[in-house]
Amino acid sequence: MKDRPLSGKLVVLTGAGGIIGRVAAERFVRGGARLVMVDRCERALGAARDALQEDKAAAFAMPCDLTDPIQVAELAASVEARHGPVDALFNNVAGKSKNIFAPFEHFPLDEWNEVMATNLTTAMLCCQHFGSLMAARGRGTIVNTLSIYGIVAPDQRIYEGAEYEGRAINSPAVYSAAKAGLWGLTKYLATYWGSKGVRVNAVTPGGVFSGQNETFVGRYSARVPMGRMAKAEEIADAMLFLASDGASYINGQNIVVDGGLTAW
């Protein structure tokens, strides 16, 4: 792959203020992209842009609530008007609700809908607006961020005593359902727009270390053939590859970056 595989490309990255998003932003700018960074949280978005080590002038922060169809339509129009045609869209939003770790038997319906909207509907809306413009021009690429728990069920045993930032954690059913749905959308759009020059693929991260307690890290790592959790940089590199010309004949595929966990 070239040293600057995204040179001259305009890239839209949603979820830019998140764990993977911050690292991906750095990778994309370093790869030569002009980058539109999108996130609902203006504070996280600003911090992510300020943290860029490469040319900050190539990165533009645009806050947006991607669950709002009106805001998404305005975002797409604004990006095109200010920066020109979008070459690559990364649907990288992930979000939790207040009671995200509630047991399935008592999971609130309103929060189920909230999590589905954040993790699945945002991607649909962005694909509708940005993807349609790509299809009309006859070129473009879309990369959706999934989860291993959208393709396999979580092992609930590894969550006994697991904590993140002092809070007990698990892997809720709604997250699995949303990410499985996003994989379905990925395949659908890959065939729907493939003849129009738009490639649609996915990256599935394994568990990324971000401060989980030793109990969880040990149990999770024992389930991985490589014996450790992922680094955000390893996920971002796969994302960058799928947007590059080196992936020009890759369409409708899912690159699973999980150290072999799903190969057992």
CA 215 to CA 174: how far, in whole Å?
Answer: 24
Among 39, 122, 139, 29, which Cα is nearest to 84's? 139
Residues 6+ apart with CB under 8 A from 231: 208, 209
Rounded to an integer, what distance in angstroms lies between the CA atom of residue 180 and that of residue 183? 5
**Tokens 């399935």 identify what position?**
104
User: Residue 249 is which amino acid?
Assistant: Y
Burial (CB count <10 Å: 0-12, 13-18, 19+), residue 105: exposed
* 236 token code pair: 């971002």
Residue whose structure tokens are 């998404």: 72
Q: Give the strands of the sheet with 198-205, arranged side by side.
A: 59-63, 34-39, 10-14, 88-91, 140-145, 198-205, 254-257
Helix (H) or strand (E) holding 56: none
Catalytic residues: 175
